[in-house]
Amino acid sequence: MEIIASPQDIFSKSDIKKVLLLRQDRLGDVIISLPLFEAFKANFPEKEFHICLGEKNIAATPFVQAFFQKIWYYEKNLFKIIPLILHLNAEHYDLIIDLLDSPSRTSSIMMKLIKSKYKLGFDKENRSVYTHIVPLPNQSQVHIVDRVMNILLPFNIATANIDKKINLHINDNIINPIPKNNNKKRLGINLAGSTKAKFWGIDNYIGFINKFLENHPDFEIYVFVQKNLQDLQAEICSATNASPAPITDDLQLLAKMISTCDYFLTPDTATVHFAAAFQIPTVVFFHTPEIPPKLLPWTPYKTPHKALLTTDSIESISVDDAIKAFEELMHK
C-alpha cells in the first residue's frame, strides 16, 4: 500500500484509461463531489470515467451525467449485486476510487470483488482494500468538499489550484413554476431532512414564519417538502402567509426553484448544498452528538451561513434563535 500525501504523477499516466468511482451513499455526498467530477473531466478528457451510485442518491443522476460515460447503480439486494459485480468486472477498469471518507462495508466488499490493478481510497479503517491511499484531513476542521479533493493528489493535481465551487447544471428547458416577484425578497424553507430528528416541528415553523414576516413584510416565504410531508406543508401554510412550493421528485426543477430564493432555512440535508451552489445565505439546523462537534458539520460551502447546533432534537432550537441568526445574516 502506498500513501500519497502530495501531488504525484501516478494515475495521470496514459496507461490509466478507464476509471470507476464509487459514490453509493447519499444525495448530499454526490452534490459535494461535483467539483471533483468537474476537475477529473477538465484535466483528463482522454480518460473514461464511470460512477456507481446507490439507491439513496440515484436522483442525482441529472447532475452527474455530463461527467461520466457510464453510470451504474448499486442496490442492496444480493440478486442484483452479483450481476452488477459481473458487469463491472467485464469493464476491465484500470483504477477504482472509493470516495467515501468513512469506513463502508459495501465499499470494502466492492473493492475486493471488482478487479482492477489499482485501488484508491482515504486513509481510514478499511485501508487494507486499497493499493494506494491519500490522507484523510482532520474531519473536525476541514470541510467535506476540501477533504474529498485529496483524491486528486495521485493525479498530480494540487488541490489548492482547483475551483471547488459547487455547480448544479440545470437543463435550460426547465421552467420555474414559482417565478420571482421582483417586489419581494424570497425566503425558502425546507421543512425536513432524511430522518425525524431533522424536523424542527410544526409549532416552531409556524411561530418562525409569523414572526419573520412581521419583522420583514417585504419578504415572501415558500415552503419546500417531499411528497410524504405534503400534509405538514399544507398545515403550516394554512396557519401562516407562507406559500407551498410545488412538490417534485425532479431535482433539477427543485434546484431551479431554490435558485430564486434570497435566503434559505433548512435542517442538515442535501438542500444545504443546493443553496450553496447559488450562494444563497442560509441558516442550517444541525444535530450533533457533542459540541464542539468531532465531525465538522456539512455547512454551505463558501456561502454566508449560520449553523445552529444542538445535542438534542433540533426541535429544541428556539424560534428566537432562528430569527436572530437571520438578522445577523442580513446585516453582514
Alpha helix (H) residue ranges in 74-122:
78-90, 105-113
Distance (Å) of CA 312 to CA 25, 296, 309, 317? 25, 17, 9, 9
Q: Given pLDDT bands bounded at 50, 70 and 90, which one contains residue 22? A: very high
What is the pLDDT averaged over residues 13-32? 93
Contact residues for 11 (Cβ-Cβ < 8 A; gap 6+): 19, 95, 118, 120, 154, 155
Residue 217 has pLDDT above 80, yes or no: yes
Here the cell at position 196 is 425525524
Residue 12 has pLDDT above 90, yes or no: no
Q: Give the number of other CB atoms < 10 A from CB of residue 158.
A: 11
Q: Three-state SS for 326? A: helix
What is the pLDDT averaged over residues 187-197? 81
- Do the Cβ atoms of 236 and 45 come closer than 8 Å? no
User: What's the predicted TM-score (pTM) here?
Assistant: 0.93
Distance (Å) of CA 174 to CA 24, 218, 248, 256? 27, 28, 13, 8
Q: Does domain 2-160 have CATH number 3.40.50.720?
A: no
Residue 33 identity: S
Q: Three-state SS for 103? A: coil
Q: Which CATH architecture has domain 185-330?
A: 3-Layer(aba) Sandwich (3.40)
**Looking up cell 431535482, which residue turns up?**
251
The pLDDT tens digits of the residues spanning 120-175 come to 999 998 899 999 999 998 888 899 999 999 999 999 999 888 889 999 989 989 99
Residue 194 is predicted with a pLDDT of 62
What is the pLDDT averaged over residues 72-78? 91
Residue 9 is predicted with a pLDDT of 93
Residue 138 is predicted with a pLDDT of 87
Distance (Å) of CA 203 to CA 57, 120, 208, 209, 250? 31, 48, 8, 10, 29
Window from 19-33, 175-189, 282-296 with minimum mean pLDDT? 282-296
Residue spans in the chain of domains classed CATH 3.40.50.2000: 2-160, 185-330
Distance (Å) of CA 267 to CA 43, 180, 264? 35, 24, 10
CA distance 135 to 123: 5
CA distance 102 to 86: 26
Residue 196 is predicted with a pLDDT of 65
Residue 75 is predicted with a pLDDT of 92
The pLDDT tens digits of the residues spanning 278-325 come to 999 999 999 888 888 877 778 999 999 999 999 988 999 999 999 999
Q: Given pLDDT bands bounded at 50, 70 and 90, which one contains residue 45? A: very high
- Do the Cβ atoms of 40 and 64 come closer than 8 Å? no
Residue 159 is predicted with a pLDDT of 87
Contact residues for 4 (Cβ-Cβ < 8 A; gap 6+): 10, 132, 133, 134, 153, 154
- Do the Cβ atoms of 275 and 300 come closer than 8 Å? yes
What is the pLDDT averaged over residues 77-84? 90
Residue 288 is predicted with a pLDDT of 87
Residue 195 has pLDDT above 80, yes or no: no
Here the cell at position 31 is 452534490
H or E element at residue 267: strand 263-267
